[in-house]
Every structure is written in structure tokens, then in C-alpha cells.
Amino acid sequence: MRLLRLFAAIQVNIMRFLPLIVLSCCLSSIGLAAPEKFVPTKHDPFVGDWLPKNPGDHVAQVFATGDNAYQANILLAFDDESSAEPVAVLRGTRPDEKSPVSLNGGDWTSALRPDCCGSPQMEIVNSKTGEKIRLAQYMRPNPRLQVKPPKGANTRMVFTNRMRDGVRTLDSAILVSETIAGKNVRAHIEFRLLSDQSAAAVTLWKDKWIALPASYGRAGAAPACGALGDTPPTIRAERAILEWQALDIETRDDRATIFLNGVRIHDSVKIAESTTPAPLKIETRGAPIELRNAWISTE
């Protein structure tokens, strides 16, 4: 009798949870099981900025487009108005990890060679003019990383909870700082995009957002990193994914000046009718991003 009662109880429990069991199996079968843990994009030795060995020659930006494919934008210079429109766009695919990448676009060809002479090398050739440019990877200096906040009673570090080793990871989150009394706000945020699917938006106002997507190298991307609402940045100053970047906002009355990685990308743009200080807000979507050294200050 005890065995019969135990068997009956087991049947009842199975029937009670059967819908959940069936649902779980169905979700697994169609690929909707528990999401896999996010893995940041791996370092790619070809991705990033390239500087010519002869000063005055063209520079380049290289980024991966998926399936071992790459795009190289040939620019006149970094961090000025010319960075918005490339001189040439080259594309190509790497056949295997040991082979160079051959890129082509218009009259231009290029070869990316792995670990030549201790580091990757790039050569660009213009078949029409005969111009040949040799480049090496280059890490543009960023004067706004790890800057200390101004001293004063109206300065406050923000978003510091849940940090590990001074860094906080955000995954589809919204953070809002405290409002600090005063006017003429200065705000600073350092961020790192972990994937080409990472994106964030920052605001100090009700209706104006500063977009921070992974738009490095993507000429004509909308929105570009640093766009203020529908207004694109005057200069494309974003860095490649996995590089730390810095956003600085300075407001005076109803206008704002915005810097990305130390480069002024919006100059005295009207942003609001009200001069009442608002909290600093950041929203992330897509793949996670990392934050550090975020602060806000008012006069």
C-alpha cells in the first residue's frame, strides 16, 4: 500500500510539472534554452589604427566584418574632418591564420601580413599613381583616460557600486546618478565596447542622448559614436572595440560641448531650454560594455 501511495504521489507531481517540462524541452529543441554566457571579442592583431612609416602619408583603420573578412579605410589623417569620408575603402578575406590578407578597392590594393618583424605589417599600393605606403600598427594616445575629477564639494564619482578592480560591466542596464546641486555641469565617463554588438547612450538632459555604438571604421554609420541625437559628430574620433575610450561633457547655460577621446566633436550646441542640473544617465543595449572612472561635477 505504501508503494502504491508513493507511486500515485509521483504521478501527481509529474502531471503538475508536465507543462513546464514540455516547455523546457520545446525551448531547447528550437534553440531558446538558457542563453550562453557572453564571450568578449578576441583581440585581433589586424584590427585598429595603422600609421605610415613616412610622415605625411595616408593612415588606415582596419576592422573585422565577420567570417575572416576585413575592411580597411584609407584616410588622410586621424581625428580631423577628413576622417568622416575615407580616401578609399578596401575589402578582403583571410584564407587561414598564417596567410596574409589581400584587400582591394578601386585603384588601391593592400596586404596585411601577420607577425612580420615582430608585429603585423601593412602595405598599400595605388596602381594608378604607383604610390606605395608601408604602415605599422599604432595606438593613438588618449589624454583623457584615467583623468582625476576636479576637487570640490560639488564633484561626485558615480556608478561605483558593483565594480570589480575599478571596472563595472553593464549588460542591458540603465544607470542613473544622483543629481548634484549647481549649474554648468562637467561629466566624464570611460567605457569599453566588448563586441561589435555593444552600444550605449548617455544623457544629462531629457531629450538629447549621446550615442556610443561600436561604429569604428564604419563610414556613414548612423548613429556614429558621439552622435548627439540626430546630429553626427563633426569628427570621427571613436576607437576600435576593446580599446578604452573617454567621453567628456561640458555644459554652460543651455549649451554643451562634447569631447570623445580628447577630440571636440560638438562645440557649444544648444541642448535644452532649462538649465536645471539633471542626473547623469547611461543605458546599454546589445552586448555588454565596461565602465570605469565616471564622475560628475557642477559649479
For residue 18, is pLDDT > 60?
no
Beta strand 255-260 with 244-252 is: antiparallel
**Residue 156 near residue 180, CB atoms below 8 Å:** yes
State residue 273's pLDDT score. Answer: 62
Question: What confidence score (pLDDT) does residue 241 get?
Answer: 95
Residues 265 and 235: beta-carbon distance below 8 Å: yes
What does CATH list as the number for 155-297?
2.60.120.560
158 or 276: which carries more pLDDT confidence? 158
Q: Which of 253, 285, 271 lies closest to 207, judged by CA?
A: 271
> Positive or negative, the Cα torsion across 94, 100, 101, 105?
negative
Binned at pLDDT 50, 70 and 90, residue 265 comes out as very high
Cell of 137: 600598427
Give backbone dihedrals phi and psi of 15, rounded to 5 degrees, phi first: -65, -35
Q: What is the pLDDT of residue 298?
A: 84
Cell of 16: 503538475
How many angstroms separate the CA atoms of 257 and 233, rounded? 11
Domain with CATH 2.40.128.50 in the chain: 48-138
Measured CA to CA, the distance from residue 64 to residue 72 in angstroms comes to: 9
Reported as a single tens digit per residue, the pLDDT across 190-241 is: 999 999 999 999 988 777 899 999 999 988 767 899 999 889 999 999 999 9
Q: How confident is the model over 111-123, as a mean pLDDT?
A: 84
H or E stretch at 22: helix 2-29
% residues pLDDT > 90 (the chain): 56
- pLDDT tens string 64-102: 999 999 999 999 999 988 777 899 999 999 999 888 999
Distance of CA 55 to the CA centre of its chain: 29
What's the confidence (pLDDT) of residue 192?
97
Q: What is the pLDDT of residue 36?
A: 63
Q: Where in the chain is the domain with CATH 2.60.120.560?
A: 155-297
Residue 276 pLDDT:
61
Q: Which CATH class is domain 48-138?
A: mainly beta
Mean pLDDT of the chain: 84
Has residue 4 got a pLDDT over 80? no
